[in-house]
Amino acid sequence: MGKHFLKKKKPVLLLAALGAITGLFSSYAVLTHFYGRTIDEAALLASLPGLPFGVAMCAFLAFQVGLPALHGYFVIGIFGASWLISYWGTLYFYGSLIQQTFYQTFYASNTEIIILAFVGAIAGLIGAGIIVSGLAVVLAQYRDVSFARRTLLVGSAVGLLLPLTIVPYFTPVFFVLWQAAVAVCLGLGLDQPSTDAEI
């Protein structure tokens, strides 16, 4: 029974590992390209953190379900867009509350932490929503309400940890947790019965 469980959940465990590993690459992109830049400058690079995650998920889906190359490029773009739109839709509008650079100090007041947690929840919801919508376009396995609901809730909940990024040393923790959590949802989504044919 234990072996059967591990075999069934192997894609989920693998995706969790991929999400965590790419979370390190994403945090590196943020730490090297975002810190010390103005909000507008960072906006031009906002899709970078999502690309490692997108490439890893694309490779996994290509191997697991035979995702066509053209759809693979679309999936990579979706993950990049999730970061870009999340940034513009949330952090940009709250930029005045977190100064004009990305968390340039090691200190933040309690009010700023609450604001960042709120912003993180919204950003996590938007990012997860874009990923869910994009994957549903190309894969029938992801056209499921329970998958969408679970992924949106997880993305938003883990997004509450955004205040961790106030301290650069903790930035990788946030990215690893968010991407691993969303990746687990994607793995669980593959177990959903599909009723539609893929595009």
- pLDDT tens per residue, range 140-178: 888 889 999 999 999 999 999 988 888 888 888 998 999
What does the pLDDT read at residue 55?
A: 84
- pLDDT tens per residue, range 169-199: 888 899 899 999 999 999 888 865 554 444 4
- Domain coordinates of the chain in residue numbers? 2-189
Three-state secondary structure of the chain: CHHHHHHHHHHHHHHHHHHHHHHHHHHHHHHHHCCCCEHHHHHCCCCCCHHHHHHHHHHHHHHHHCCCHHHHHHHHHHHHHHHHHHHHHHHCCCHHHHCCECCCCCCCCHHHHHHHHHHHHHHHHHHHHHHHHHHHHHCHHHCCHHHHHHHHHHHHHHHCCHHHHHCHHHHHHHHHHHHHHHHHHHHHHCCCCCCCCCC
What does the pLDDT read at residue 7?
A: 47
What does the pLDDT read at residue 65?
A: 75
Q: By percentage, how much of the chain surpasses pLDDT 90?
A: 18
Greater model confidence, 41 or 107: 41
- pLDDT tens per residue, range 58-116: 888 888 777 777 777 788 888 877 777 776 666 555 655 554 444 444 455 567 788 78
